[in-house]
Amino acid sequence: MNSEVSYVIGVDYGSDSVRTIIVNAKTGEELAADVFYYPRWQKQLYCNMQANQFRQHPLDYVEGLETTIKNCVAKVGASVAANIKALSVDTTGSTPVATDKHGTPLAMLPGFEENPNAMFVLWKDHTGVGEAAEINAHTEKFETNYLQFVGGIYSSEWFWAKLLHVLRADEAVRNNIYSFVEHCDWIPFLLTGGNDVHQMKRSVCAAGHKILWAKEWDGLPPNEFFATLDPVLDGITTRLFKDTYASNEAAGIISKEWAQRLGLPETVVIGVGAYDAHMGAVGGQIEPYHLSKVMGTSTCDMMVAPANEVAGKLVKGICGQVPGSVIPGMIGLEAGQSAFGDAYAWFKRLISWPLQTLVANSNLLDEATKQQLIQETENAIIPALSKAAEKIEVTVHSELAVDWFNGRRTPDANQLLTASITGLDLGSDAVHLFRAVVESTCFGAKAIVERFQEQGIPVKGLIGLGGVARKSPFVMQMMADVMNMPIRIHRSEQTCALGAAMFAATAAGIYNKVEDAMQAMGQGFDTVYEPDAAKVALYQQRYEQYKKVGAFMEAQIIH
């Protein structure tokens, strides 16, 4: 790295908000940060929770991009802004959108502004469950196993199931779509002034883990695979892509229009995008065979391993293993849970019903006081439950939950699965049930580690990243106890955005490789949770019960 002080921007698109940071590329010091909550998403527009439909309007993303970057630039001042060299983004995924030939999302075109099928289909949208099942069955008809690098099971959370569902569900979209584009690919394309979707640089991260791209079959599966699945897909691959790019590469240079809109130099390099957990693993200083757990609404568990050491090993039931998807030169392996923080949020909503209905309609308080009381109480619910749950004496027969509140991502994707709670009696109260829900999410995490180990991939350590990891000692201590393995918590509160900044610095040539950026810009770890040896045996017994209850529930599914 040269001695000139340079700055880079990392932009992290989460499920609820976008977070932007400006970072010193030499030290990793965060100079400014800003958060923008998607206004349409906050109102749950275009969503139907009962139908598992979760859509996001592209204007939420665009407004968030402009607002957070401009606010950060204002905080650091003109002298720092003049030395910003690069910008990279991460997003949730698979979160794709239908576009026209110019790469413009249909929701940004006249006539489609309020059409959910013309918007980004958020990762946790499961409206394509039936389509995913069809893809899995269809793959068995072909000599080549096109699912071999995505764990052998295609998920409704992924690109092709969503595309097929949208095309079948909406004639207007079907008649106007040209291409289908991941969020992490669209933002760099937008910032570089892209106007031809064929020129969009597609991320190997998204392509390999969710879109069935592999060098072994020279890109995407052949047209025959899709045309025989459903004629609506006939010819679609010619409007997608063949080549992919790692995130240490540049997508291009910022357009003059966007440089002016954001107050940035016209020389800013825009890096190739990637999924949040993949960049978050880099921001959290991932190490070979250490499982980096990005813990938020869901979890995404990332691992990297030298290609020569995992050659010939295909881990079944995970979300893929792709060369260069996390760190160029290594195999990136992905797993995760469809609900983690979302499970806690569900329980909070459940017990908040009296607040939202009875207190909100009380005649004893004025409106301002009611809203303050509701907000104060809701903010205190999870911390208070956690503190009380720590004191519970657990036995083999205590309440037990299975964590499939939003289906199961891994191991073995099945979004038809639902959660369950057993062992209830008249002594079961909110604290006991909350503790069981937390324990179930830890058991779900253990199932992932167990699958890697069963398939010959060692898990040598755990790294905790994200909001839950930093804010909930109760959950993290239980995770260590259940796993019987220490878990290190990364110091940065913005590991995904920091990872994006590291990739931006690499794409701009400030560093020769992303490992060098990690070494220089990484902030290290500030907490380690060690397993309590006195609890390990009990948790192992309860984990075996968890697996039995889960197997029973899975057998009850009515297809």
pLDDT in tens, 137-151: 999 999 999 999 999
pLDDT of residue 1: 45
pLDDT for 474-498, tens place per residue?
Answer: 999 999 999 999 999 999 889 999 9
Task: Kindly tell me if the per-residue pLDDT of 228 is higher than 80.
Answer: yes
Torsion sign, CA atoms 472, 478, 480, 483:
negative
pLDDT of residue 304: 96
CATH number for the segment(s) 7-284+493-523: 3.30.420.40
Q: How far apart are CA 185 and CA 181, in angstroms?
A: 7
Residue ranges covered by each domain of the chain: 7-284+493-523, 341-491+527-555
For residues 466-502, b (16+ Cβ closer than 10 Å) or e, as one string?
bebbbbbebbbbbbbbbbbbebbbbebbbbbbbbbbb
pLDDT of residue 557: 78
Give the residue with greater pLDDT, 78 vs 312: 78
Task: Kindly tell me if the per-residue pLDDT of 160 is higher than 60.
Answer: yes
Q: How far apart are CA 501 and CA 419, in angstroms?
A: 37
Indicate the pLDDT class of residue 3, thresholds 50, 70 and 90. Answer: low
pLDDT of residue 157: 95
Dihedral of the CA atoms 559, 229, 47, 93 (nearest 10)? Answer: 110
pLDDT of residue 12: 98
pLDDT of residue 312: 84
Residue 161's alpha-carbon distances to 95, 106, 118, 165, 317, in angstroms, are 11, 19, 15, 6, 17
Averaged confidence pLDDT in the chain: 96
- Phi then psi for 292, rounded to 5 degrees? -90, 115
Indicate the pLDDT class of residue 559, thresholds 50, 70 and 90. Answer: low
Tokens of 142: 């072909």
Q: How far apart are CA 402 and CA 301, in angstroms?
A: 19
Q: Which of 111-115, 295-299, 481-485 has the lowest mean pLDDT?
A: 295-299
CA triple 113-115-116, angle to 5 deg: 120
Task: Kindly tell me if the per-residue pLDDT of 404 is higher than 80.
Answer: yes
Q: Do domains 7-284+493-523 and 341-491+527-555 have the same CATH topology?
A: yes
Q: How far apart are CA 10 and CA 4, in angstroms?
A: 19
pLDDT of residue 2: 46
Nearest to 296 by CA among 342, 253, 332: 342
Residue 393 amino acid letter: E
Q: How far apart are CA 388 and CA 386, in angstroms?
A: 5
* Percent of the chain clearing pLDDT 90 (strictly above): 96
CATH number for the segment(s) 341-491+527-555: 3.30.420.40
Task: Kindly tell me if the per-residue pLDDT of 33 is higher than 60.
Answer: yes
Task: Kindly tell me if the per-residue pLDDT of 403 is higher than 80.
Answer: yes
User: What value does the mean pLDDT take over residues 361-379?
Assistant: 94
User: What value does the mean pLDDT take over residues 283-294?
Assistant: 95
